[in-house]
Amino acid sequence: MDTVPNSGEAPAVQVHHIRPVALANATAAVAAAAYLICLALSVFAPGLLMALFSPWFHNVRAAAVQPVGRKD
Protein backbone atom coordinates (compact mmCIF):
# COMPACT_ATOMS: atom_id res chain seq x y z
CA MET A 1 0.00 0.00 0.00
CA ASP A 2 1.43 3.37 -0.99
CA THR A 3 1.16 6.52 1.03
CA VAL A 4 0.82 10.01 -0.34
CA PRO A 5 2.38 12.67 1.87
CA ASN A 6 0.52 15.89 2.46
CA SER A 7 1.55 19.18 4.06
CA GLY A 8 2.55 17.44 7.27
CA GLU A 9 -0.40 18.66 9.31
CA ALA A 10 -2.47 15.50 9.02
CA PRO A 11 -1.41 11.86 8.61
CA ALA A 12 -0.59 10.63 5.12
CA VAL A 13 -3.44 9.44 2.92
CA GLN A 14 -3.39 5.76 2.03
CA VAL A 15 -3.92 4.91 -1.63
CA HIS A 16 -5.56 1.58 -2.43
CA HIS A 17 -4.86 0.09 -5.83
CA ILE A 18 -7.32 -2.04 -7.74
CA ARG A 19 -6.12 -5.60 -8.16
CA PRO A 20 -6.94 -6.57 -11.78
CA VAL A 21 -7.21 -10.32 -11.17
CA ALA A 22 -9.59 -9.87 -8.23
CA LEU A 23 -11.68 -7.40 -10.25
CA ALA A 24 -11.81 -9.81 -13.21
CA ASN A 25 -12.86 -12.70 -10.96
CA ALA A 26 -15.60 -10.63 -9.33
CA THR A 27 -16.87 -9.43 -12.72
CA ALA A 28 -16.94 -12.99 -14.06
CA ALA A 29 -18.82 -14.22 -10.98
CA VAL A 30 -21.48 -11.49 -11.29
CA ALA A 31 -21.86 -12.12 -15.04
CA ALA A 32 -22.21 -15.88 -14.45
CA ALA A 33 -24.86 -15.31 -11.78
CA ALA A 34 -26.83 -12.97 -14.07
CA TYR A 35 -26.58 -15.51 -16.90
CA LEU A 36 -27.85 -18.34 -14.69
CA ILE A 37 -30.77 -16.24 -13.41
CA CYS A 38 -31.77 -15.32 -16.97
CA LEU A 39 -31.39 -18.94 -18.06
CA ALA A 40 -33.64 -20.17 -15.25
CA LEU A 41 -36.24 -17.50 -16.04
CA SER A 42 -36.23 -18.33 -19.74
CA VAL A 43 -36.68 -22.05 -19.06
CA PHE A 44 -39.16 -22.01 -16.20
CA ALA A 45 -41.03 -18.72 -16.65
CA PRO A 46 -40.69 -17.34 -20.19
CA GLY A 47 -43.77 -15.14 -19.73
CA LEU A 48 -42.22 -13.51 -16.68
CA LEU A 49 -38.96 -12.98 -18.55
CA MET A 50 -40.82 -11.25 -21.38
CA ALA A 51 -42.76 -9.12 -18.89
CA LEU A 52 -39.53 -8.02 -17.21
CA PHE A 53 -37.70 -7.10 -20.40
CA SER A 54 -40.50 -5.76 -22.59
CA PRO A 55 -40.27 -2.19 -21.19
CA TRP A 56 -36.65 -2.06 -22.35
CA PHE A 57 -37.69 -2.68 -25.97
CA HIS A 58 -39.87 0.41 -26.37
CA ASN A 59 -41.25 -0.14 -29.87
CA VAL A 60 -40.84 -3.90 -30.18
CA ARG A 61 -43.88 -6.06 -29.59
CA ALA A 62 -43.02 -8.79 -27.09
CA ALA A 63 -45.40 -11.23 -28.83
CA ALA A 64 -43.16 -11.17 -31.90
CA VAL A 65 -40.19 -12.54 -29.95
CA GLN A 66 -42.00 -15.24 -27.95
CA PRO A 67 -40.41 -18.72 -28.00
CA VAL A 68 -41.36 -20.78 -31.06
CA GLY A 69 -42.86 -23.71 -29.18
CA ARG A 70 -45.09 -21.56 -26.98
CA LYS A 71 -48.82 -21.70 -27.68
CA ASP A 72 -51.06 -19.09 -26.04
Q: How many CB atoms lie within 10 A of CB 49?
A: 19
Contacts for 72 with CB less than 8 Å, ≥ 6 apart = 66
pLDDT of amino acid 4: 58
Mean pLDDT of 14-42: 91
pTM to 2 decimal places = 0.54
Spatial separation of the C-alpha atoms in residues 33 and 54, rounded to whole Å: 21
Rounded mean pLDDT of 47-70? 67
Express each pLDDT in 37-55 by its tens digit.
989 888 888 788 777 777 7
Mean pLDDT (the chain) is 76
